[in-house]
Amino acid sequence: MSEDKQPAGGAARDEITFAQKLNKLLEVLARDGDRPMSGARFLEDFTAKTGMKLSAGYLSELRNGHVTAPRIDLIEALAAYFRINPAYFFPGPEDQENQARLDLLGSMRDNQAQNLAIRASGLSAPTLRRITAIIESARALENLPATPGGGTILNDEQT
């Protein structure tokens, strides 16, 4: 299967690109304690867990949208690494909800918030966006900084 190398801007306006999906997974799920893994650490961990070697340059092309259709074996290895269904990487009607769930998961890093995350399981993307807005308002009331990843799907004014 050949790889499609295109500029990142080729996707439809509401379509979530492969690069956006991969970056969201790296931001939320590829963690070294309380912060995202470095690129080098991710590549080392990815190879150790999947047996597939991925270069820093190719990862950069994937993350920046220059490679929009990677090989299926790489998609399967990424899915195995993140313990998700490979279908996540393909366009589908559940894209917005998947991103909303990852946004919510990313905002709930400490143990006290995990109970809330469990209760949010099964809620629709619009409801998850409302919950995130409430959390952001509460953070502002307590003079806490906005959570990392501002300007994501959950902050869009979609219903």
**The tokens of 125 are what?**
């993307």
Q: What is the pLDDT along the chain (159 residues), one digit of tens a residue?
A: 445 544 344 445 578 899 999 998 898 877 766 677 888 999 999 999 999 999 999 999 999 999 999 999 999 999 999 888 898 898 888 878 878 888 777 766 655 566 777 788 888 889 988 888 888 888 788 777 776 544 333 333 333
| 148 closest CA partner among 95, 117, 105 | 105
Whole-prediction pTM value? 0.60
Give the contacts of 121 (CB within 8 A, at least 6 positions apart).
none
| 64 within 8 A of 19, measured Cβ to Cβ | yes
Domain boundaries, the chain: 12-92, 93-159
| Cα separation, 61 vs 101, whole angstroms | 25
Q: Does domain 12-92 have CATH number 3.40.50.2000?
A: no
**Taking the CB of residue 141, how many other CB atoms lie within 10 A of it?**
8
